Amino acid sequence: MKKLYEYICNGETFVARSLLIAMVILVFGAGIARVVGYPINWAIDMATCFFAWACFFSADIAWRNDKLMSVDIFVNHFPEKMKKYCRMANYIILTVFLTYVVVAGLWISYVSRERAFQGIPAISYSWVTLSLPVGGALLLISTILKIRKAVRSGGGE
């Protein structure tokens, strides 16, 4: 199971990097094409779709590696035991929120399945909205693993 999760994490990192590179290429290429007189109207729309996916993948990568910004100016003055309680409270709040995000995201994806993405008839808007439940599920898995690690280590990290 650990190996599978490792493969998922590596795949997520590869896809996030690829999407970011593709976004830059699409936006830059669309700008050059417009200057030359041959605008690529769909390029910015596809870059927007890639951005939605890349945001969630990158957020999970940052969360998993403890690289997200945090405001801990008050918590740093708490005793160690209180810091552990605050951390667990945050994890529980995140778990509830991410569960909601997954469920609501699946509903939004289902409802928008027949809507065309930015007027491109071949692409369903669900491809963009699916980034919400997929990204939320990945973040939820990372959060649950953080909770498990905190519980096993006595509430600390």
Q: What is the pLDDT of residues 94-128, one digit of tens each?
A: 999 999 999 999 999 999 888 777 767 777 888 88
- Determine the pLDDT at residue 116: 74
The domain spans of the chain are 2-152
Handedness of CA 6, 108, 20, 22 (dihedral sign): positive
Closest alpha carbon to 155 in 86, 79, 57, 104: 86
Residue 9 · residue 64 · CB < 8 Å: yes
Closest alpha carbon to 109 in 26, 52, 42, 31: 52
pTM of the model: 0.88
H-type alpha helices, the chain: 2-36, 41-64, 80-111, 126-129, 131-152
Residue 42 reports pLDDT greater than 80: yes
Per-residue confidence at 72, pLDDT binned at 50, 70, 90? confident
- Determine the pLDDT at residue 74: 85
Token code pair at residue 142: 């990372």
